[in-house]
C-alpha cells in the first residue's frame, strides 16, 4: 500500500507489516518523508489499533532462544560477521519498535509521534549501514540465527504506554549505551575501524532515542499523576530484573534523561 497521504497510523501499520528487509527500510523511509512533509495526518478519530501478533519478518534469520545462539569471538571472520549480524538484527527490530510506539498508543501529543517516526527512520538507516558492512564481510542479513527478545517486551507492554516508555527504550535499547563503547574499543584494537565507525554513529544517536523514552515516560507519568522514579523502580522489579546487567554507562544514561534515583535503581536490581 502507499504510505504517502492519509493517516499516520495506517502508514505505521504498513511499515510494521512490511516483511522483507528491503521493504521495511523503503516503506519506513517513504513514511518518514511523507510525515515530515505534512502529508500524513494524526487522526484523532482513527479506529483503535488492530492486534499485532508479530510484525512482518523475512523468512530468515531463524528465530531461536537466546541460549541457542553460539558464542563466537570477534577475532575470526565468521565471528566478526556474526557480531555485525546480531547488531543489525537489533536495529531491524528497533524499526518495528519505533513504528509500534506510533501505531499502538493513541491520543498522544504531536511531538510524541514526531519523535517516534524520526526514531524509526534512524533505526532503518542504522540497519542499512550494518547490512552494507555485513555484505562487505561476505554475508547478508538472515545468514545467522537470531532471537526475538525485543519484540517480546513490546508484547508485554502493549497495553501500557508508561511501561513501554520505561522498559523498551530505557532498559532494552539503553543496554547499547552500556556495551557499545567497549565494543568500539575492541573493534579498533582488531583494526576494524569500519565497523567501529558505524557503532560510534549508532551510539551517538541512540542517546537521543533513549532520551525520548525518558521524556515521554515522565510526560505519561505526569498525565497519570504518578511519581516517575518509584514507578520506574517498580516496573524494573516486575518486568526487567533478569534483563539488567552492569556495569552501566552512567554518563550516557544521565545524558539520556536518567535521574540519579533511577540510576541507583538499575544498580540495585542488576544481576
Intra-chain end-to-end CA distance of the chain, in Å: 45
Percent of the chain with pLDDT over 70: 98
pLDDT band at 113 (very low <50, low <70, confident <90, very high): very high
What does the pLDDT look like over 77-103, one tens digit per residue? Answer: 899 999 999 999 999 999 999 999 999
Q: At what angle do helices 77-104 and 193-224 cross, to 10 degrees?
A: 20
Q: How confident is the model over 156-171, as a mean pLDDT? A: 94
- In DSSP notation, the chain reads ---SSSBHHHHHHHHHH--SHHHHHHHHHHHHHHHHTT-SB--TTPPPPPP-SS----S-SPB--GGGSPP--TTSHHHHHHHHHHHHHHHHHHHHHHHHHHHH--S--HHHHHHHHHHHHHHHHHHHHHHHHHHHTT--TTSS-B--HHHHHHHHTTT-HHHHHHHIIIIIITHHHHHHHHHHHHHHHTT-HHHHHHHHHHHHHHHHHHHHHHHHHHHHHHHHT--HHHHHHHHIIIIIGGG--S---HHHHHHTT--HHHHHHHHHH--
Evaluate if residue 33 carries a pLDDT over 80: yes
Q: With 80 as the cut, is the pLDDT of residue 208 above it? A: yes
Distance CA 251, CA 197 (A): 20
For residue 121, pLDDT beyond 90: yes
In terms of phi and psi (left: phi > 0; alpha: psi -120 to 50; beta: otherwise), the region of 73 is: beta
Q: What is the pLDDT of residue 152?
A: 86
Q: What are phi and psi of 175, to 5 degrees?
A: -60, -30
Please determine, for residue 64, whether its predicted confidence score (pLDDT) is greater than 90: no
Res 242: pLDDT:
67
The three cell numbers of residue 160 are 501500557
* Structural domains of the chain ordered from first start: 76-269 (1.20.1260)
- Model confidence pLDDT, tens digit, residues 218-266: 999 999 999 999 999 999 888 876 678 888 999 999 999 999 999 988 8
- Mean pLDDT calculated for residue range 36-44: 94
**According to the model, what pLDDT value does residue 271 have?**
62
Examine the pLDDT at 15 and tell me if it is beyond 90: yes
Q: How far apart (Å, rounded) are the C-alpha atoms in residues 126 and 135?
A: 14
Grid coordinates of 205: 544517536
Q: State the average pLDDT for the chain.
A: 93
Residue 70, phi then psi, degrees to nearest 5? -70, 150
Average pLDDT over residues 104-126: 97
pTM of the model: 0.94
Amino acid at each position: 500500500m502507499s504510505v504517502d497521504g492519509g493517516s499516520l497510523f495506517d502508514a505505521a501499520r504498513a511499515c510494521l507489516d512490511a516483511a522483507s528487509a528491503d521493504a521495511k527500510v523503503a516503506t519506513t523511509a517513504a513514511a518518514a518523508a511523507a510525515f515530515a512533509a505534512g502529508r500524513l495526518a494524526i487522526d484523532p478519530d482513527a479506529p483503535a489499533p488492530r492486534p499485532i501478533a508479530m510484525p512482518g519478518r523475512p523468512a530468515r534469520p531463524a528465530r531461536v532462544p537466546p541460549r541457542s545462539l553460539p558464542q563466537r569471538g570477534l577475532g575470526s571472520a565468521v565471528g566478526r560477521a556474526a557480531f555485525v549480524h546480531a547488531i543489525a538484527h537489533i536495529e531491524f527490530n528497533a524499526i518495528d519498535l519505533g513504528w509500534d510506539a506510533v501505531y499502538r498508543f493513541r491520543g498522544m501529543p504531536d511531538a510524541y509521534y514526531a519523535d517516534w517516526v524520526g526514531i524509526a527512520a534512524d533505526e532503518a538507516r542504522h540497519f542499512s549501514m550494518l547490512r552494507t558492512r555485513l555484505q562487505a564481510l561476505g554475508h547478508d542479513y538472515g545468514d545467522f540465527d537470531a532471537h526475538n527478545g525485543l519484540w517480546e517486551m513490546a508484547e508485554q507492554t502493549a497495553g501500557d504506554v508508561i511501561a513501554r516508555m520505561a522498559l523498551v527504550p530505557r532498559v532494552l535499547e539503553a543496554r547499547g549505551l552500556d556495551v557499545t563503547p567497549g565494543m568500539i574499543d575492541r573493534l579498533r584494537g582488531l583494526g576494524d575501524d569500519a565497523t567501529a565507525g558505524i557503532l560510534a554513529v549508532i551510539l551517538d544517536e541512540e542517546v537521543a532515542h533513549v532520551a525520548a523514552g525518558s521524556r515521554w515516560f515522565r510526560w505519561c507519568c505526569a498525565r497519570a499523576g504518578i511519581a516517575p522514579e518509584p514507578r520506574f523502580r517498580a516496573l524494573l522489579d516486575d518486568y526487567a530484573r533478569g534483563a539488567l546487567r552492569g556495569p552501566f554507562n552512567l554518563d550516557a544514561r544521565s545524558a539520556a534523561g536518567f535521574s540519579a534515583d533511577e540510576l541507583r535503581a538499575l544498580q540495585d536490581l542488576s544481576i
